[in-house]
Chains A and B, each alone.
Chain A
């Protein structure tokens, strides 16, 4: 083995490693862009990934269709129980109608926000080893996407762009602790900060915290972006699932279930521009 450390191969390995370390440091310092070699390989692989993702989507749908058939009877029983519970909740009907109206309004987000510039994109790869479900989309700087652009679906906020390549970009989701955004309870206007934790990410939830003890946040409330930072205001994030107080009992936090099922996303919209964009720097993100 000692011969190896004197060999030409060892010198080659050492040079490659040092070059990659230098590139890593550069990428870290510059931020927002994929490292050159990842960019080249990512660009080459992007069309194949898109094709593969399309095929895998069809296959998943087919498998789901079969398994859904097998589970239909079990699901029927479960649905009956759910129906009974829903009947009990009939008294909350009025509130639900209001929420639906709000949701319908959101579906017209594009009409209501003519300043929004959208870029549709498809998920081409997912980092399976990231518990916060980050993923890669098939659009990059060539499509006008930049670091910190907001990513949404018709259901609500997904996250933002972290690294941009020529034809691919990486997206960090609202489940991640790396995302920190100002949020509001839509009903009460109570403001707080939204950021993920590992424990909540396991359940597909995120955390709405720094709420004052006198806030009126309630389970079922909708949480929207406040417009502070990199996100436009009024984007739907999710519903409050549970409420608790921090360990020092000084503020309240809520567990929020995002409207977007992040594990099931296949296509997204990137908001490449909106009025007021760039007015504030990113707080806490990255």
Chain B
């Protein structure tokens, strides 16, 4: 059904495509610069992840793959110890959100929040397992409890504005 939906999607409005690209660029630059630090204590959101979840909720699968892949590569190019982790994670999360939104959930805010929470927890736990769990037990658990889980929750909450922006654009198409 989801595939059919994406196939019958009408011609994309170039202004909306440009607006989406612009939003992605701005979010990626804000994530990596210090102009907008919205951290709350140790909870630091991964803004591009919130964006990709909100975006994939209403986009077609190709857009979700491309958006996830490019955002992930951009994050990989600045993230310490990431190799290609973000590129893979963002792309798979985008596809998973697209599939879940089109097959398992209704496209409402509640569903978006549930999906965002699941995806961001999976992302931060994987980040912890792959890159931060090899230190001492105290440090390792400290990262998980103090940084990873609060950041995952914060990231999930930040999907709300992106959900409404993406919904607005999807209605305009």
Interfacial residues, chain A to chain B (CB-CB below 8 A): 1, 3-4, 7, 9, 12-13, 16-17, 20-21, 23-24, 27-28, 34-35, 37-39, 41-42, 45, 48-49, 52-53, 55-56, 59-60, 124-132, 134-136, 162, 165, 168, 170, 172, 177-178, 197-199, 202
Q: Which residues of B contact A55 (CB under 8 A)?
A: 35
Q: Contacts A38-B77, A198-B143 given: A128-B65 contact, CB under 8 Å?
A: no
B118 to chain A, nearest CB (A): 16
CA distance A244 to B143 in the complex (A): 23
Q: Contacts A4-B99, A129-B151, A199-B139 given: A60-B87 contact, CB under 8 Å?
A: no
New A-B contacts (17) at CB < 8 Å, excluding given A53-B33, A130-B80, A130-B81: A4-B3, A9-B3, A12-B65, A35-B84, A38-B84, A41-B70, A41-B74, A42-B77, A45-B74, A49-B29, A129-B79, A131-B42, A136-B32, A168-B77, A172-B80, A198-B135, A198-B142
| A134–B99 CB distance below 8 A | no
A200 to chain B, nearest CB (A): 10
Which listed residue (B69, B78, B139) contacts A198, Cβ 8 A?
A: B139
CA distance A48 to B30 in the complex (A): 12
| A34–B79 CB distance below 8 A | no
Which listed residue (B2, B73, B103) contacts A41, Cβ 8 A?
A: B73
CB contacts under 8 Å to A, within B10-45, are 29, 31-35, 37, 39, 42, 44
| A4–B77 CB distance below 8 A | no
> Which A residue's beta carbon lies closest to that of B131?
A130
CA distance A28 to B61 in the complex (A): 30
A286 to chain B, nearest CB (A): 10
CA distance A44 to B144 in the complex (A): 33
Which listed residue (B2, B46, B77) contacts A39, Cβ 8 A?
A: B77
| B34–A129 CB distance below 8 A | no
| B84–A125 CB distance below 8 A | no
Q: Which residues of B contact A199 (CB under 8 A)?
A: 138-139, 142
Q: Which residues of A contact B92 (CB under 8 A)?
A: 13, 17
A-B contacts counted at CB < 8 A amount to 135
How many chain B residues sit at the interface, stated as a range, is 35 or more
| B127–A129 CB distance below 8 A | yes
Q: Does B110 contact A (CB under 8 A)?
A: no
Which listed residue (A20, A128, A135) contacts B84, Cβ 8 A?
A: A20
A45 to chain B, nearest CB (A): 7
Which listed residue (A45, A126, A162) contacts B34, Cβ 8 A?
A: A126
Q: Which residues of A contact B81 (CB under 8 A)?
A: 130, 162, 178
CA distance A237 to B120 in the complex (A): 37
CA distance A52 to B32 in the complex (A): 10
CA distance A102 to B73 in the complex (A): 45
A274 to chain B, nearest CB (A): 24
CA distance A3 to B61 in the complex (A): 14
Q: Does B160 contact A (CB under 8 A)?
A: no
Q: Which residues of A contact B62 (CB under 8 A)?
A: 9
Q: Which residues of A contact B53 (CB under 8 A)?
A: none
| A23–B34 CB distance below 8 A | no
Q: Contacts A27-B84, A177-B135 given: A49-B79 contact, CB under 8 Å?
A: no
Q: 30 A-B contacts, Cβ less than 8 Å apart? A: A1-B104, A4-B2, A4-B3, A7-B3, A9-B62, A12-B65, A16-B65, A16-B69, A20-B88, A21-B84, A23-B83, A23-B84, A35-B76, A35-B83, A35-B84, A38-B84, A41-B77, A42-B77, A49-B29, A49-B32, A53-B33, A59-B35, A60-B34, A125-B32, A129-B44, A129-B46, A129-B79, A129-B127, A136-B77, A199-B139
Counting chain A CB atoms within 10 Å of each CB, which of B29, B69, B104, B146 scores highest?
B29
A220 to chain B, nearest CB (A): 27
CA distance A3 to B77 in the complex (A): 34
> Which B residue's beta carbon lies closest to that of A53?
B33
CB contacts under 8 Å to A, within B147-165, are 147, 151
